[in-house]
Amino acid sequence: MTYAFDPEIAAAVPMLPEQDFSDLPAARLRMKEMFAELTDEPDTTGVTFREEQVPGPDGAPDVRVLVYTPDRIAEPSLLFDVHGGGFIVGDADMGHEGNLGLARDLGVVVVSVDYRLAPEAPYPAGLEDCYAALVWTAKHAGELGVDPERIVIHGVSAGGGLCAALALLARDRGGPAIAFQFLGVPEIDDRLETPSMRAFVDTPLWNRPRAEFSWDCYLGPGVRGTEGVPAHAAPARATDLTGLPPAYISVMEFDPLRDEGIAYAQGLLAAGVTTELHLFPGTFHGSGLMKQATISRREAAEAKAVLARALGVEPA
């Protein structure tokens, strides 16, 4: 199928690496290599970062988190980052360069969680790891130098889906407090019935076949689209969105996840949750990796501006 991609992005599409998830260990290695190729040498100036092993869910292993503390603390807010990767690839290290920049430019502490991946650890393992790390973060707010009432959660793709689920889970369990949820191109609907999901079967980086594989790994074979999948697994299924934190949702024009993100924003608004929605034209899932494209720079600048406002700071 032919897509009206933004010209700057379209020029780079042939250079994108092929992804094959049939061999997940190899796919995970390729993902790390791709991010290493597409990211610059990390600038650690003005930021101290460390690794922690924090208590995991009951009966589960400890959870690895990365903590970024800027030399300049602008506000006692905290950014809690959840990486993407379709629930099956990626780790906290893939966000290292970006989290260094956010900590330094915004002047806030950043905690990034390295949750367990499916299919080795299917739902609810990854979500429960995120929740355990969030609980640890709130409990150790004093040591981190932050206000536990000013935690902003941030995730892109499956990370955005996990953040949406995390907001629901924290509400339903009575804490920790979440001040804002940043849901970048969130993966939130296992039913795969939206027009965009049906249409975009061969888009770069993410498409319907990959979404099918992702949900089958996360929920288990034969589970996606069936009755009884809980909202904490697929937040688009939630029937009560009241009491959730304010949200920002981004969607890309030629992304199979586009319509579920739009529908979730509409659902939040209908539930009285302050929500901002932005569709970026001519884009596809992950097209922001082409950092020099004008539309990608707009996307990155807006993300930083939204987070700055949510965290109560002004970007440097």
**Active site residues per annotation:** 157, 255, 285
- Find, among 303, 251, 305, 297, the residue nearest to 8 by Cα: 297
Instruction: Encode 111-169 in three state secondary structure.
Output: EEEECCCCCCCCCCHHHHHHHHHHHHHHHCHHHHCCCCCCEEEEEECHHHHHHHHHHHH
Report the alpha-carbon distance of residue 192 to residue 32 in Å, rounded. 28
Report the alpha-carbon distance of residue 182 to residue 14 in Å, rounded. 30
Token digits for 262? 């739009």
Backbone φ and ψ for 48, nearest 5 degrees, come out as: -105, 130
- For residue 106, the surrounding DSSP H or E stretch is helix 96-106
Gyration radius from the chain CA atoms: 18
Report the alpha-carbon distance of residue 260 to residue 197 in Å, rounded. 9
Report the alpha-carbon distance of residue 103 to residue 153 in Å, rounded. 14
Tell me the C-alpha to C-alpha distance, in Å, between residue 42 and each of 1, 49, 71, 156, 293: 37, 12, 16, 20, 21
> What is the residue type of 284?
F
How far is C-alpha 152 from the geometric centre of its chain's CA atoms? 12
* Residue in this structure with the two tokens 């935690």, named with its chain if needed: 151
3-class DSSP state of 78 = strand
